[in-house]
């Protein structure tokens, strides 16, 4: 395998850990996902507050993961 092939197989198989916020949103029903997206877009909700609300609903998520996703820096 030459370097180009090695890089291309890394690219296909190694995306790193998936964003837990993206995974969470994918598992929510439509209304909950819309509510969460609205909260992300609303500057009055801190990521810590959103995290607390999600954990109160039984979701296991860290504010840091929410923040990364909110800033668009997550690995989709
Ligand atoms: Zn994400």
How far is residue 68's CA from residue 75's CA, in Å, rounded to a whole number? 9
Q: What is the DSSP letter of 18?
A: P
Tell how far the Cα of 49 is from the centroid of ligand 1, in angstroms.
Answer: 17
Residue length, the chain? 76
Distances (CA, A) of 37 to 30, 48, 65: 11, 15, 14
Tell how far the Cα of 5 is from the centroid of ligand 1, in angstroms.
Answer: 28
Contact 69/23 with Cβ under 8 angstroms?
no
Tell how far the Cα of 4 is from the centroid of ligand 1, in angstroms.
Answer: 29
pLDDT computed for residue 21 by the predictor: 94
Per domain, the residue ranges of the chain are: 17-70
Tell how far the Cα of 66 is from the centroid of ligand 1, in angstroms.
Answer: 8
How far is residue 21's CA from residue 74's CA, in Å, rounded to a whole number? 9
Tell how far the Cα of 74 is from the centroid of ligand 1, in angstroms.
Answer: 5
Q: What is the mean pLDDT of each run of 10 residues along the chain (76 residues)?
A: 80 63 94 97 96 96 93 81
Tokens of 14: 């190694």
């Amino acid at each position: 395998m030459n370097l180009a092939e090695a890089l291309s197989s890394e690219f296909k198989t190694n995306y790193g850990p998936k964003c837990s916020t993206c995974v969470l949103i994918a598992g929510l029903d439509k209304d909950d996902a819309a509510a969460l997206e609205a909260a992300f877009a609303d500057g009055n909700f801190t990521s810590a507050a959103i995290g607390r609300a999600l954990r109160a609903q039984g979701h296991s998520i860290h504010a840091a993961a929410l923040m990364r996703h909110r800033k668009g820096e997550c690995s989709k």
